[in-house]
Structure 1
Amino acid sequence: MLFGENRDPYLEHPGSLWLLHWMLAGKPGRATVWHWAFNEFHEPTFDRELMRRRLHRRCDELSESGRLGKERTISDITIRRDVECLVRTYFALPGGARRAPEDSIECPLAELGLIQKAGVGELYRFRRGPKSSLPDEVFLFALLDFWRTYYAARKSFSVDFLTFERGSPGQVFLLDEEAVAERLVRLDALTDGAVRWDESSGMRQLYGHKLESIDEWGLLRAMYDRDLRRGAA
């Protein structure tokens, strides 16, 4: 859609970066380390070495359980490279930093600000909270992807579940509970009532009524058409 249909070939729309991040981190089969980092690695602050140790331990657990394949192990150098690549994907080096020419091109996803410095040295943290550049259409796309993939028979979710459950939009986009709730309120209008927000009973819940009627790809295309026309004007 972005490149083949020429919707946003230069990644100028902020929604494109969020969409690519969801495709990377939303499911374990696409980029396993990315999914693990945003859904299982919950350290308040970390450096590359701590992330490497935690990831190595997780790989050992999967290997012992046979989920990596028969007698398969992951080398330490592979884990180190994946950790380095992940951090560099989301954290841009300071503009005045001295670096080799091949390291001077930053990943566009660093603009999302999902990984930040935490004090001096090489400490980092994941930045959880509101994300003003995340369009509601991309949040809805992620919500439906999560819903249909893992909980197709389920009719409702709590705010807490959609914030902290593994693979949920709140977890992958690092949104806090109130930021998720604010977005859920707006989905009724965006989907013509196919998903509805209800807090009348004191429990904040999202209900699905006609999920099959939602054309999430059509909503994304409409978002690009609307915003690119606005930008051209």
Structure 2
Amino acid sequence: MAYGQHQSFYLRDRWLSKAIKQLREDSRFFYDKEAFEKIGLGKNMVQSLRFWVVATNIVEENTNEQRKKVHHITSFGDVIDRYDRHIQFNDTAAMLHYHLTTNKESSTVWYWFFNLLEETAISKEDLFSIFVKWVEETENKKISHKSLKRDIDCLIKLYTAGEDAQDPEEVIQSPINKISLLSEKNGNVYKKTPNSIGEVGIIALYYTLLVYCSQKETYTVSVEELINQHGLWGRVYNMNRNLIIQALHQLTSHAQYPILFTRTNNLDTVKIPEIEPISFLESEYSRKVKVYS
């Protein structure tokens, strides 16, 4: 697992599109000594951006024939770049958040906060203490508390920066901020905010469900899984049972890929069409962009 890889910088607006543009020209861009000048960011910000593009599944890190690290744009990243490179749609922000919170090895604190932490409202001090305890119980090696504190600070800023900031350097909202998953209460208490279907976006909900089913090699899930399973709606998007049921009813009427939602004897099951997540996303976004253009 990884800690403190973001260099204390939360993801900024337009960063992802800047990285994709450079990586299309040079898969070794992040190892170019002049990278910071080419992209117009500070050296530490460039290192931070390297973390963010991988953690959000926009880019994957590989090794070339010379055994040097390279970065290639994923199928997901390609779709986002072609249809919503500036993250204007809530669906896009929600899917970036989804990949961030299910990437346990790269973005550990996000995985822990949304999938494992049971508290829905907590002070920053208690949040840090619980995270430290979890890391010490999970890791065989000692992790710097300073690094873990930076993780907690960055997680909070990703969802709340710009809402009521006194620091002029923290007035810029991240592209993920728009889906309102975390809010600050009474100055030092942070609350996981229940999401509406509209804030997340029905495309994002269907996409994350398809990814989950593809990874598990099953096309049937239960409502209980959707509520409680790591990587699904209840955990990742703070959705309660009622919202999940509403979203499922909407997806039964999907024009091209309707789901089958069966409710019998308190055993609520959902059958998903066998479609590749990226194929679905390509279809939905091509139609969505036509509507908004």
TM-score relative to the length of structure 2: 0.67
- Hey, what's the Cα distance between the residues in 2 that align with 1:187 and 1:38? 24
Structure 1 pair 44–202 and aligned structure 2 pair: CA distance change class (3 A): closer
Counterpart of 2:191?
125
- Hey, what's the Cα distance between the residues in 2 that align with 1:135 and 1:128? 14
Give the counterpart of 2:206 among 132, 136, 140: 140
User: Which amino acid in structure 2 is aligned with residue 143 of structure 1?
Assistant: L
CA contact (8 A) 1:27 1:167 kept: no
CA contact (8 A) 1:90 1:107 kept: yes
CA contact (8 A) 2:261 2:270 kept: yes
What is the Cα-based RMSD across aligned positions, in Å?
A: 2.3
User: Does residue 9 of structure 1 match 2:110?
Assistant: no
Counterpart of 2:126?
50
User: Does residue 105 of structure 1 match 2:172?
Assistant: yes
Counterpart of 1:186?
250
CA contact (8 A) 1:89 1:107 kept: yes
- Hey, what's the Cα distance between the residues in 1 that align with 2:116 and 2:82? 35
Matches within 5 A, 1:22-61: 22-61=98-137
TM-superposed deviation, 1:193 = 6.3
SS at match of 2:239: coil
1:96-146, CA deviations, whole angstroms, 9 ceiling, x for partnerless residues?
A: x421x432322121111111122x221110012423132222212111222
CA contact (8 A) 2:91 2:202 kept: no
User: Which amino acid in structure 2 is aligned with residue 169 of structure 1?
Assistant: W
TM-superposed deviation, 1:30 = 3.2
Counterpart of 1:196?
260
CA contact (8 A) 2:94 2:200 kept: yes
CA contact (8 A) 1:22 1:172 kept: yes
User: Does residue 86 of structure 1 match 2:155?
Assistant: yes
CA contact (8 A) 2:220 2:269 kept: yes
TM-score relative to the length of structure 1: 0.83
TM-superposed deviation, 1:172 = 0.5
TM-superposed deviation, 1:223 = 2.4
Counterpart of 1:69?
none
Matches within 5 A, 1:145-224: 145-149=211-215, 151-152=216-217, 154=218, 156-190=220-254, 195-208=259-272, 210-211=273-274, 214-224=275-285
Structure with the higher strand share, 1 or 2: 2
Ranges in structure 1 where 5+ consecutive residues have no aligned partner:
67-71
Counterpart of 2:16?
none
